[in-house]
């Protein structure tokens, strides 16, 4: 298996985008259980664990999560359905893996609806661009393209583009927007 952690050369840590490296969240929710009152104000940043820094993603672990393989074999295939997570919105490693899985489907054309739910998982992640590039890399390998959703949305945004032949049906303006593997939590994206 390819060692993506060795191939992708990036900073070991970066400043948290929520607290901007200060370890203090200026909009922390404070709750007083005695008075049953709450307010916003400065407090510890729970995104980075009050360190001000976020560690780089484990790309090998993400790849293992978004793909599956048979025991004893080295070949892996992309998961058609969402991996099982405990809580991808609270666990950074799970959120990163979910984001990559969803963006692979978006770029590759399996699901051309806007990945709003996945974007919420990496809202304050300083490595979002690298995670997106990693998803593009996997989409090219799995679907043969990382441009299907871009072609679909370019037309919707008023650009006049000629979509090349041979792309997934979701890349074309009159085609479907998603395959049959849309997670239940993402169903509102279809409305």
Please report the pLDDT score of residue 179 as a whole number.
79
> What is 113-124 written as a DSSP string?
S--HHHHHHTTT
**Mean of the pLDDT values across residues 153-179?**
87
All structural domains of the chain with their residue ranges: 14-54, 55-184
Q: Per-residue b/e over 29-54, b at no fewer than 16 CB within 10 Å?
A: eeeeeeeeeeeeeeeebebbeeebbb
Integer Cα distance of 47 and 91 in angstroms? 10
Is the distance from CB of 186 to CB of 128 less than 8 angstroms? no
Least confident of 21-35, 85-99, 124-138: 21-35
Is the distance from CB of 74 to CB of 64 less than 8 angstroms? no
Tokens of 6: 């060795």
Angle at 12 between CA 8 and CA 16, to 5 degrees: 115
**Mean of the pLDDT values across residues 89-114?**
95
Integer Cα distance of 23 and 13 in angstroms? 14
**Chain segment 42-76, per-residue pLDDT in tens:** 999 999 999 999 999 999 999 999 999 877 777 89
**Mean of the pLDDT values across residues 149-153?**
92
- Predicted structure pTM score: 0.88
> What is 44-70 written as a DSSP string?
E-TTTTSSSEEEPP-HHHHHHHHEEE-
Q: Is 38 helix (H, G, I), strand (E, B) or coil?
A: strand
Pairing of strands 24-32, 67-69: unpaired
Please report the pLDDT score of residue 20 as a whole number.
95
Integer Cα distance of 24 and 19 in angstroms? 6
């Amino acid at each position: 298996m390819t060692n993506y952690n060795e191939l992708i050369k990036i900073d070991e840590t970066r400043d948290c985008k929520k607290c901007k490296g200060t370890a203090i969240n200026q909009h922390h929710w404070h709750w007083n259980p005695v008075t049953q009152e709450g307010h916003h104000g400065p407090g510890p940043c729970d995104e980075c664990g009050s360190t001000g820094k976020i560690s780089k993603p484990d790309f090998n672990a993400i790849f293992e999560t978004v793909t599956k393989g048979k025991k004893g074999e080295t070949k892996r295939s992309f998961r058609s359905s969402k991996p099982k997570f405990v809580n991808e919105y609270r666990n950074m490693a799970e959120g990163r893996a979910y984001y990559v899985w969803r963006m692979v489907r978006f770029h590759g054309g399996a699901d051309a609806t806007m990945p709003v739910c996945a974007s919420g998982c990496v809202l304050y992640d300083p490595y979002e661009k690298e995670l997106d590039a990693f998803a593009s890399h996997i989409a090219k390998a799995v679907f043969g393209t990382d441009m299907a959703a871009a072609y679909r949305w370019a037309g919707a945004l008023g650009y006049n583009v000629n979509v090349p032949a041979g792309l997934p049906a979701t890349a074309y303006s009159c085609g479907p927007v998603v395959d049959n593997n849309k997670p239940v939590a993402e169903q509102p994206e279809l409305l």
